[in-house]
Amino acid sequence: MVVAAGGDGTFAEVAAGLLGGHARLGLLPLGTANVLAWELGIPLRPEAAAQVLGAGRIASLHPGLALFADGSTRLFVQMLGAGFDAAVVAALDLRLKRVLGRGAYVWQTLRELPRYRFPPIVATLDGEAMEASSIIVTKGRLYAGRYLVAPGANPTAPGFHVVVFTQAGPMPAALAGAALPLGLVPYLPGVSIRRAARITLAARHDAPSVQADGDPAGLLPVTITAAQGVIRILLPR
C-alpha cells in the first residue's frame, strides 16, 4: 500500500507512479478542495480516513491521460479543464491559497472575469467537432469540492463526461460560478454534457491554459484518452 496525504494534485502524482502496478493507493485528504475524496466517500477527518486504510474495500480507478503538443503527458484522477477555470488556476497565488483556502479561487475568479478574453476552443469528441468557450473533462460527478457538474459520471468506470460551455464572456462565466454551489451548472443555458472516450482540445488562435486536478498543466492543444492501466484504490466499505 502507498498512502498519499494531500489534495487532488498530490493524489494524481502518486497515482501516476502506481499505474498498472499491484500496490494499493490509500488517501488521506489534506488538500484545499479534496474533490476525489468527496467523490469516493472518503472521510475528510484524518482519523476516519486512516480507518479506511486498514478496513477498506479495493476498487479500480480509471484515470485519464493528457498528451500535449510537446510530447509531455499528465495523468489526472478527477478532471481536466481548459479555458476560464484553467486561467484562474494558472494565475492563482499559492501564498493566498494557503491563507484563504478555497476562498482564494473565488478571489482569483473575480480578478479574471474582466480580463479573460474567452478565446474559442475547438473540441473533438470521438470524432465529432464543436466549439466551446470552456471545457471540463471529468471522471467524476463533482468539481471544486462537492459541487455537482456531471451527474452520472463515475471515476471507477471507463470513459469521460465532457461539460461543454458554449456561451463566452464574463456574464455567463459569473452565472456558472454562482450556480456551482447550488449544483445547477449542468442545467444552465449554453451548457451540455457529452460522453466520450477520446477528446482533442485545440485553439483557433490564442492558446488557453489547461488545469488538471486543480493544478496548472500546460496549454492547448491536448489529446485526452484513458490511461493504460488502472489504480487499485481503497474505499470505505
Domains of the chain: 2-62+229-235 (3.40.50.10330), 64-226 (2.60.200.40)
> Would you give per-residue pLDDT tens digits along the chain (237 residues)?
999 999 999 999 999 999 989 999 999 999 999 999 999 999 999 999 999 999 999 999 999 999 999 999 999 999 999 999 999 999 999 888 888 888 899 999 999 999 999 999 999 999 999 999 999 999 999 999 999 999 999 999 999 999 999 999 999 999 999 999 999 999 999 999 999 999 999 998 888 999 999 999 999 999 999 999 999 999 999
Dihedrals phi, psi of 217, to nearest 5 degrees: -125, -15
Q: What is the distance of C-alpha 107 from the center of its chain?
A: 19
**Looking at the chain, which runs of residues are DSSP E strands?**
2-6, 24-29, 57-61, 64-68, 73-76, 79-82, 121-125, 128-132, 134-138, 142-143, 147-148, 160-165, 191-196, 199-203, 209-212, 215-219, 222-226, 231-235
